[in-house]
């Protein structure tokens, strides 16, 4: 299983406790995390104004330095500490470590931003088989060996596809994809695209939905967009919102 958590959840100690209690029951889990709030706080302290385009952070040299510090330092350490306290053998890694995630730099206005093109699935499986829970920050290397900022949703999708995971779970505070304020139990690809085009699915959720569809198209068996309570329901074999399907 691959679980993606957002940076805002890392600010919540009770969330980390609950995540640890859930993850400790699964034998082989890879976690991919973001770190937006941490990065924003660092940017503010350093006087660097964050810019976003289509839900993704525009990354220049200064912003990349902030992302490296925030993601591989603060966010990663906070996550790993919270999991270890619950008995999880968590390892804080990034896509850079051992070349676990390979990327190419995207063209356009996003700057030093990459898209995943390959994952060392065997390396990640070796870690999970040894009883460890890899916790990946999305900072990765590009084709020329340059550091690139990568959207954590895209990394999670690539990791799940590369490992042919039985399930990819995006944990969010909303508890699923909302339509008229209500989490939807299940949405197909056509419905998702229509909701994105109409603006019902907002900018922050769009990368998750796009990543969910990409993972399914790449052979991942199931994809859920839910919250911590939904993850526990899923663990117990109960339905939870929102399952994305093709």
Q: What is the pTM of this model?
A: 0.94
Domain 2-245 class, CATH top level: alpha beta
Give, for all 246 residues of the chain, the pLDDT tens digit.
999 998 888 889 999 999 999 999 888 999 999 988 888 888 888 888 888 887 677 899 999 999 999 999 899 999 999 999 999 999 999 999 999 999 999 998 999 999 999 999 999 999 999 999 999 999 999 999 999 999 999 999 999 999 999 999 999 988 899 999 999 999 999 999 999 999 999 878 999 999 999 999 999 999 999 999 999 999 888 989 899 999
How do the domains of the chain map onto residue ranges? 2-245
CA neighbor of 35 nearest in space, from 80, 67, 3, 63:
67
Give residues with Cβ within 8 angstroms of 83, minimum separation 6. 16, 19, 20, 23, 31, 90, 133, 135
Task: Please state, in angstroms and rounded to a whole number, the distance separating the CA atoms of residues 190 and 183.
Answer: 17
Positions annotated as catalytic residues are 4, 7, 36, 153, 208
Distances in Å between the alpha carbon of 88 and those of 2, 114, 135? 15, 30, 11
CA neighbor of 211 nearest in space, from 227, 230, 196:
196
């Amino acid at each position: 299983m691959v679980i993606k958590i957002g940076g805002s959840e890392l600010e919540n100690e009770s969330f980390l406790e609950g995540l640890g209690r859930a993850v400790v029951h699964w034998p082989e889990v890879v976690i991919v995390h973001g770190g937006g709030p941490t990065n924003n706080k660092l940017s503010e302290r350093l006087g660097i104004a964050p810019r976003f385009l289509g839900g993704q952070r525009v990354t220049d040299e200064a912003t990349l330095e902030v992302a490296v510090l925030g993601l591989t330092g603060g966010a990663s350490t906070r996550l790993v500490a919270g999991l270890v306290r619950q008995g999880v053998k968590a390892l804080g890694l990034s896509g850079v470590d051992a070349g676990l995630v390979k990327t190419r730099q995207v063209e356009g206005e996003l700057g030093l931003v990459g898209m995943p093109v390959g994952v060392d699935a065997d390396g990640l499986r070796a870690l999970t088989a040894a009883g460890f829970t890899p916790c990946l920050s999305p900072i990765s290397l590009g084709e020329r060996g340059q550091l690139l900022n990568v959207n954590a949703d895209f990394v999670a999708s690539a990791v799940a596809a590369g490992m042919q995971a039985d399930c990819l779970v995006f944990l969010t505070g909303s508890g699923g994809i909302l339509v008229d304020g209500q989490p939807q139990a299940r949405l197909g690809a056509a419905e998702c695209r229509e909701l994105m085009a109409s603006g019902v699915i907002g900018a922050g959720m769009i990368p998750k939905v796009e990543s969910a569809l990409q993972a399914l198209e790449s052979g991942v068996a199931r994809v859920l967009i839910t919250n911590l309570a939904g993850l526990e329901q899923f663990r117990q074999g109960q339905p939870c919102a929102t399952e994305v399907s093709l």
